[in-house]
Chain A
Amino acid sequence: MAGQTAGDAPAKPEITGRDVLARGARVMWRGIRDEPRRFTTAVLGSCLFGALVIGQAIVVGWLVDELIQPATTGGDVTAGAMALGATVLIAMGLGRVAGIFGRRLGAGFMQFALQARYRHEVTRRYLQLPVSWHQRHATGTLLSNANSDVEAAWFPVAPLPFAVGTMFMLVVAVGVLFSVDWALALVGLVVFPVLFVMNVVFSRRMAPRQARAQHLRAEVAAIAHESFDGALVVKTMGREDLETRRFAARAGELRDALISVGRLRGLFDPLMESLPFLGTLLALLVGAWRMDQGAIGLNEVVQVTFLFTVLAFPVRAIGWVLGDLPRSVAGWDRVEHVLQSTGQMPYGAQDLPGSGAAELSFRNVDFAYDPAQPVLRDVTFTVPAGRTVALVGPTGSGKSTIATLAARLLDPEQGQIALDGTDARGLSSASLAHAVALVPQIAFVFDDTVRGNVALDRPGIDDDRVHEALATAQADTFIARLPEHLDTQLGERGTSLSGGQRQRVTLARALAGQPRLLILDDATSAVDPRVEARILASLRGSAQSTTILVVAYRRATIALADEVVYIESGRVIATGTHERLLATVGGYADLVTAYEKAEEERERDRLYDEASAAEQEEEVAA
């Protein structure tokens, strides 16, 4: 089956080696601008650390001169010099600890703060973006945007201050080298740029491999997610082998991609390790030559070789940053896609005037999810204030779409949807949420208590209202049986409810807000007939000032309605009372009387069978 991860995410700009460093640098710059103080702390710590590393080499050179050489060649060693040497070394160690605290806490806190900041921004965006946008994006993709992509984007932030400090350290080191001897400085000027260039070359070559591995990683996750989502179907059809093969194929590709990443790293890491050592050897060679010429002393040779040794490790920090930049850029691109997503559905500023039941009207509404397949065409109907209208139509005719539009979760392409004559697009978010409640076909339960799920912390909804709503939705009995009643945790981490129970909780959620327009999208499909009958009865009893649009198949539900809107293939075929439609609209009659007709037919068949059986018996008897 087709891999789907990316969904219709934007065509990703190909990450080439050439521009990835520049783009990565821009991402890092953004991070620095967002967290200037933490970054500064980290860089200062890192520079302090670097300065002390170089200082240590100088001190070692001095120790060689003052202590070791005299000691090993029979010279004088003073206790004072020894004490001083040891004190300085320990003091420098403590200084390095301070540097490390500054660098690592600064960098770590900066990284965490950036992750948190962009998680906040991405998820805030999710909550702002309209339903139509969500419908176009796979859940898995959105989850990884807020999680692993944000993480990847700020991954290089952790070693970044270290790398900056290392650059500073290299500059100082070259300065120190020059102060010692120009020839040794030249060694540094050769070795350090070579290290730097190798790092750059490596990360450029690594970029496409990393990107591919990252992409495959997402695909593997998507397959696993979908497959586990459909685990019941896989199981009942016995397709575990098929699914495993599908997963294994992609996991194999991921393995190959990761091996190719590993081979490059296998080449790079040993090289990066050996190069500074070669620098040390070169320094020794050049140092000996300069010593031979009498330009420098023994302690300076030791100092410089020591410098190359201690620089070997920090230089790799530059490689870490550069190596992670491609992933960072890829992650950032996806984060940015979310942050820059448009398709906003701005709310208006108007309040819905008046109170009590509101009139809903659709005027010449066209709608399509996919331009190739119009879902609604020229839909016009009105639900007068305080009345109940049943929306009836065959499977796939567009009923749920109408319900969704009526709650302004989507906007029509053409035409207008109005509440009490006010275009829904002009209404403020608060007034819309206050006035309209939609109970969807598939119930959604929050990871929250029963009370939280029903009240949603909306003002004015106290426990009495919650109880009342639960009673109307026929959910009071089973809620009363839950261990902690209203405080029972529901959702993923709480008690799981049956489909019918979930529907009743969501129905109660809608009722608790006392909406002026209630939209029920086949909201009792998983509730059994007797319970549903009770729900409908209590709705009728309590719906004193509510307009109701109900998507229905059952006669009892339709009987509740003052009027019926019958649709087929996205068009309103007829509007009128049930009786009139039953008499005049063939499709409608077929739909609502399907069960009766089926029963009559069976009855006829049975009578016929009995009759023919009787005939046969007679024949046999005769």
Chain B
Amino acid sequence: MSASAVTQESRSESAWATFRRGISLSPELKAGLAGTLGLALIAMIGRAAVPVAVQQGIDRGLGVQTGHLDMGVIATVVGITALILVVTTICGYFMMRRLFTVSETALANIRVRTFRHIHDLSMLHQQSERRGTMVSRVTSDVDSITQFIQWGGVILMVNGGQLVVTTIVMAFYSWQLTLVVLAAFLPAVVVIKAFQKRLSGAYAENRRRIGVMLGAISESVVGASVIRAYGVSERSGAKLSATIDDYQQAQRRAMRISVTSFSVGEIASALALASVVLVGVRFGVAGEITFGEMTAFLFLVTLFIQPVQIATEVLNEAQNAVAGWRRLLDVVDLEPDVADPAERGVDLPEGPLDISFERVSFSYPVDGEPGPRVLHEVHLDVAAKTRVAVVGETGSGKTTFAKLLTRLMDPSEGRVLLSGTPLTDVRFASLRSRVVMVPQDGFLFDATVAENVRFARPDLTDAELEQAFTDLGLLDWVQGLAHGLDTPVGERGEALSVGERQLVALARAYVADPDLLVLDEATSAVDPATEVRLQRTLDAVTRGRTTVAIAHRLSTAQAADEVIVVDKGVVIQRGPHDELLTLPDSVYAKLYASWLEQTR
């Protein structure tokens, strides 16, 4: 499935199908449903009780027929109805309680599962989505389902029931008048349904524009310093304002449609009431309906109108909720294309790992189609315990190489093996503990230095942590921070300098103690002296493991056992640094010459 499938809004799945798909994903929602529905049924009866009481009171107590007013009858009718109301209120309470508990529990589960699922998606999938979009999958989308189930669910249950009960009671009093009421509403239902379609289009436009607006807001926050430095806050402000106004326009349009659709129901209700009066009076004259029944009917028509009106509103809300639910389900249904073989998989063999690439090709997907190849039939073996540097110009495919090696992506063709085991067969639990990559931007969590390093190994003691920094020759640096290991690093680590963030990320990878360590320009922002020192200590601590370092600082290459030169997706040279230099016109020799030029 293409990565962009997640964002597609144009799915033509019906709301009902989404609902069913959603329920099958959260079977907890069905827990105790019968009981809840039963309570809802009882709660609904309370609504019809009052018009019946009015009819009984008028016909039998006020003595319209008999001409004799009987307070006893009135008191009895009122007393019994009040009792029914108390009982139905209690049932209503329990129904809502159950509904809230069940739905919140089920949705908390789906929230967590979706969160996990997003982490399980491949790196390419994750990167094809805007971060905010993924966050809203587990926040606002879930919230909209909750709202729909609780608001919509309650209202549809209670009001749907009210509609049914009211209709039954009405039919009991006079089936002819009931038909009159239904006839008055029928055209409204058709018209409202037509409006729903336009409305759902309007809501889709709302969502699109809110996305654009949030993007613009985020840009003005993330790029605050650039905007200020170039004095272009007016330009950014104007763009941002336009997106805010666009969203407001879309909101208004949806509102206009919604109100128009709502008023159709109101007109229908006036029509129904008028028809009931006209027709009812004729029946009354014919002696087919009593005064009390006729009066009760007027009450019942009102009770019939309310749920119809409310349902119109709920359906509007439901459009949003169903869309949210659909987006969520689309993510959950997305098969991770780099999947954990889990129990079908094997563990990596013990001991140092060797690497082999068998005719590996790779192309990044462009709009769901394979794009141009960035790696082309790479065939390569690296012995265990060697330290390899991968060099090449920007865009030569070195980072792709690292991502395939750590199975962040799978090759388009060919396969990658570690100690003879194809990566695709290796359980993630084994893979991630034995193979660790340090990406270029050393992402840190908003916590302390110590907590960030412990991310790799939560059981590390303070002493062990300190030892790790000592091993890497970084203890002085850590101790120089305001609060040592307990220094908070800020959001994304931004309280530290870029180079310092890389040091923490490196320490984090080091304590993970992998057998294959992949460094993707992991020290690109660190000063040369520290880098050289790190290099040396890394050499010491990584002895006995396989290390692959992607580097554009060729100091790394010089220190490596072997250098692999990648150019335009092909491995064109490999061998020790000194050996490669003996070919004067080679790509590596040229790279090295410009490196020397820069550093001498």
Q: Is A594 an interface residue (CB 8 A)?
A: yes
Given known pairs A90-B271, A143-B218, the reply for A265 and B96 (CB within 8 Å) is yes
B202-224 vs A, Cβ < 8 Å mask (1 yes, 0 no) = 00000000000111111111111
Q: Is B18 an interface residue (CB 8 A)?
A: no
Q: How far is the CB of B302 from chain A (nearest CB, A)?
A: 6
Q: Once the chains bind, are A94 and B111 in contact (CB under 8 Å)?
A: no
Q: Is A400 an interface residue (CB 8 A)?
A: yes
Q: Once the chains bind, are A262 and B221 in contact (CB under 8 Å)?
A: no
Q: Once the chains bind, are B228 and A130 in contact (CB under 8 Å)?
A: yes
Given known pairs A313-B306, A447-B215, the reply for A115 and B248 (CB within 8 Å) is yes
Q: Which listed residue (A301, A395, A407) contacts B229, Cβ 8 A?
A: A407
Q: Once the chains bind, are B227 and A270 in contact (CB under 8 Å)?
A: no
Q: Once the chains bind, are A68 and B294 in contact (CB under 8 Å)?
A: yes
Q: Is A255 an interface residue (CB 8 A)?
A: yes
Q: Is A273 an interface residue (CB 8 A)?
A: yes
Q: Is A64 an interface residue (CB 8 A)?
A: yes
Q: How far is the CB of A504 from chain B (nearest CB, A)?
A: 9
Q: Once the chains bind, are B214 and A526 in contact (CB under 8 Å)?
A: no
A602 to B558, CA, bound (A): 9
Chain B CB within 10 Å, residue with most, of A74, A92, A284: A284
Q: Once the chains bind, are A274 and B497 in contact (CB under 8 Å)?
A: no
Instruction: Kindly identify, within residues 24 to 54 of chain A, every residue whose CB is under 8 Å from any CB belonging to chain B.
Output: none
B-chain residues with CB within 8 Å of residue A4 when the two chains form the complex: 446, 491
Q: Once the chains bind, are B69 and A126 in contact (CB under 8 Å)?
A: no
Least CB separation from A299: chain B residue: B295
B-chain residues with CB within 8 Å of residue A364 when the two chains form the complex: none
Binds A, one of B318-326, B345-353, B378-386, B519-527: B519-527
Q: Once the chains bind, are B223 and A446 in contact (CB under 8 Å)?
A: yes
Which 9 residue pairs of A and B lie closest in terms of their CB atoms, listed nearest first? A93-B270, A238-B432, A433-B231, A262-B100, A270-B92, A266-B96, A71-B284, A556-B598, A395-B499
- What are 12 inter-chain pairs, A to B, with CB distance below 8 A? A4-B491, A100-B266, A105-B259, A108-B251, A120-B241, A231-B123, A235-B123, A238-B432, A239-B432, A274-B88, A281-B85, A289-B71
Q: Once the chains bind, are A224 and B115 in contact (CB under 8 Å)?
A: yes
Q: Once the chains bind, are B96 and A262 in contact (CB under 8 Å)?
A: yes
A387-399 vs B, Cβ < 8 Å mask (1 yes, 0 no) = 0000001111001
Interface size on A, residues (CB 8 A): 183
Q: Which listed residue (B118, B262, B509) contacts A104, Cβ 8 A?
A: B262
Q: Is A441 an interface residue (CB 8 A)?
A: yes
Q: Once the chains bind, are B528 and A113 in contact (CB under 8 Å)?
A: no
A-chain residues with CB within 8 Å of residue B81 when the two chains form the complex: 281
B-chain residues with CB within 8 Å of residue A2 when the two chains form the complex: 446-447, 451
Q: Once the chains bind, are A531 and B394 in contact (CB under 8 Å)?
A: yes
Q: Once the chains bind, are A395 and B62 in contact (CB under 8 Å)?
A: no
A-chain residues with CB within 8 Å of residue B302 when the two chains form the complex: 306, 309-310
B-chain residues with CB within 8 Å of residue A457 when the two chains form the complex: 232, 235
Q: Which listed residue (B241, B446, B451) contacts A226, Cβ 8 A?
A: B446
Q: Is A168 an interface residue (CB 8 A)?
A: no
Binds B, one of A179-187, A322-330, A414-422, A491-499: A491-499
Given known pairs A131-B228, A270-B43, A458-B230, the reply for A225 and B526 (CB within 8 Å) is no
A-chain residues with CB within 8 Å of residue B503 when the two chains form the complex: 395
Binds A, one of B8-16, B465-473, B540-548, B587-595: B587-595
Binds B, one of A354-362, A365-373, A462-470: A365-373
Given known pairs A100-B266, A291-B62, A595-B555, the reply for A529 and B591 (CB within 8 Å) is yes
Binds A, one of B164-172, B355-363, B413-421, B435-443: B435-443
Q: How far is the CB of A282 from chain B (nearest CB, A)?
A: 8
Q: Once the chains bind, are A527 and B394 in contact (CB under 8 Å)?
A: yes
A-chain residues with CB within 8 Å of residue B90 when the two chains form the complex: 270
Q: Which listed residue (A224, A281, A437) contacts B50, Cβ 8 A?
A: A281
A579-620 vs B, Cβ < 8 Å mask (1 yes, 0 no) = 000000000001110111111001000000000000000000
Q: Once the chains bind, are B591 and A139 in contact (CB under 8 Å)?
A: no
A156 to B446, CA, bound (A): 35
Q: Which listed residue (B270, B290, B433, B529) contacts A89, Cβ 8 A?
A: B270
B-chain residues with CB within 8 Å of residue A599 when the two chains form the complex: 555, 558
